[in-house]
């Protein structure tokens, strides 16, 4: 049993190092998830309207404090324990810990928009942490906690698997001794990789974009790249390297996307 557990941990860590993303199913107990979902939904309904952005109805500017206040409630206190357990399983005991105190996380709901069909987004690709050539691991992780089911086409964040590794290679060429700028992480990568250049341009055929970017992918500087939707079931958690290129996507489903994003930091 112990040997099997070691192999599992090694596989999860290897998957994270290769792609920048790892999915931990059923990490948060169902009874706690139900209470969290109700709190996020009540806070979403209390907002003064949700403007449409990128094909989904999302909290507008100025709502950040209200969405963070949701996660400060007692119903979310157990998340640190559950996240800590998942972090230890992937990275080893005490290597990473959830951020505590105010602004430990934020609710990120969105509701179905007006788009009839879902397409791989071409806008707003970005990283949340700069990439440097000499640092193999991030300073922080994002933990996406699913308090309801998020299905394909349902407003999930999309991420480019492999992008943290590819950006480190890009930093060797473009930014020796400093961090890549945001433009270098997107447009700079597009200038040397036609597949990324095509991703950042609008396309009229959603099926063709799905096939090219989510199924076929590409290999760039020996790094496999592919776009995925960060989807999951209630209680699942997805850990993401914040140097991973990601973007918002449209919600063309029939239900709200209800998740909480938590921050995790590396220990010295």
Give the domain extent around 167: 2-266
Tally of domains within the chain: 1
DSSP state of 38: H
DSSP state of 62: T
* pLDDT (0 to 100) of residue 87: 97
Mean pLDDT of 37-43: 97
CA 84/CA 77 separation, integer angstroms: 12
- What's the pLDDT tens digit per position in 5-24? 444 456 899 999 999 999 99
- What's the pLDDT tens digit per position in 194-220? 999 999 999 889 999 999 999 999 999
**Tokens at 37, concatenated:** 């979902």
Q: Is the pLDDT of residue 226 over 70?
A: yes
CA 27/CA 145 separation, integer angstroms: 9
Residue 262, beta-bridge partner list: 105, 143
Tally: H helices and E strands in the chain: 9, 13
- What's the pLDDT tens digit per position in 47-82? 988 999 999 999 999 999 999 999 999 999 999 999
Hey, how many other C-beta atoms are within 10 angstroms of the C-beta on 181? Answer: 14
| Residues making up the chain, counted from first to last | 268
CA 199/CA 215 separation, integer angstroms: 13
* pLDDT (0 to 100) of residue 9: 53
Residue whose structure tokens are 């996240």: 83
CATH number reported for the structural domain that contains residue 249 in this entry: 2.60.120.620
- What's the pLDDT tens digit per position in 146-171? 999 999 999 999 999 999 999 999 99
* pLDDT (0 to 100) of residue 3: 35
- What's the pLDDT tens digit per position in 80-135? 999 999 999 999 999 999 998 778 899 999 999 998 899 999 999 999 999 999 98
**Strand, coil or helix: 113:** coil
* pLDDT (0 to 100) of residue 268: 85
- What's the pLDDT tens digit per position in 170-196? 999 999 989 999 899 999 999 999 999
CA 233/CA 144 separation, integer angstroms: 11
- Helical H runs in 111-185? 163-174, 182-183
Q: Which of 20, 29, 60, 21 is nearest to 44 (CA)?
A: 60
Residue 145, beta-bridge partner list: 237, 260
* pLDDT (0 to 100) of residue 65: 93
- Helical H runs in 20-98? 30-46, 64-71, 79-91
Dmax (CA) for the chain in angstroms is 53
Hey, how many other C-beta atoms are within 10 angstroms of the C-beta on 163? Answer: 29
Average pLDDT, the chain: 94
* pLDDT (0 to 100) of residue 213: 98
Do 154 and 257 touch, CB atoms closer than 8 A? yes
**Strand, coil or helix: 167:** helix
Assign 3-state DSSP to the chain and report helix, strand, coil percentages, each to 5: 35, 25, 40
């Amino acid at each position: 049993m112990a040997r099997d557990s070691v192999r599992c941990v090694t596989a999860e860590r290897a998957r994270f190092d290769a792609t920048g993303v790892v999915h931990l199913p059923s990490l948060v107990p169902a009874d706690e998830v139900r209470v969290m979902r109700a709190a996020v939904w009540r806070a979403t309904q209390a907002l003064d309207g949700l403007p449409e952005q990128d094909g989904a109805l999302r909290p507008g500017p100025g709502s950040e404090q209200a969405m963070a206040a949701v996660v400060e409630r007692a119903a979310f206190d157990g998340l640190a324990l559950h996240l800590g357990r998942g972090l230890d399983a992937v990275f080893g005991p005490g290597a990473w810990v959830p951020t505590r105190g105010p602004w430990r996380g934020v609710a990120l709901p969105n509701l179905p928009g007006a788009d009839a069909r879902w397409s791989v987004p071409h806008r707003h690709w970005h990283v949340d942490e700069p990439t440097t050539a000499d640092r193999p691991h991030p300073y922080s992780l994002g933990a996406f906690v699913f308090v309801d089911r998020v299905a394909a086409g349902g407003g999930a964040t999309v991420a480019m698997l492999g992008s943290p590794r590819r950006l480190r290679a890009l930093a060797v060429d473009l930014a020796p001794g400093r961090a890549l700028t945001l433009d270098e992480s997107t447009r700079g990568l597009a200038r040397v990789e036609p597949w990324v250049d095509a991703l950042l341009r609008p396309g009229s055929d959603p099926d063709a974009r799905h096939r090219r970017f989510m199924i076929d992918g590409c290999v760039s500087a020996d790094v496999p790249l592919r776009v995925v939707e960060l989807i999951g079931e209630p209680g699942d958690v997805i850990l993401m390297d914040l140097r991973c290129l990601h973007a918002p996507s449209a919600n063309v489903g029939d239900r709200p996307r209800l998740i909480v994003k938590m921050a995790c930091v590396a220990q010295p």
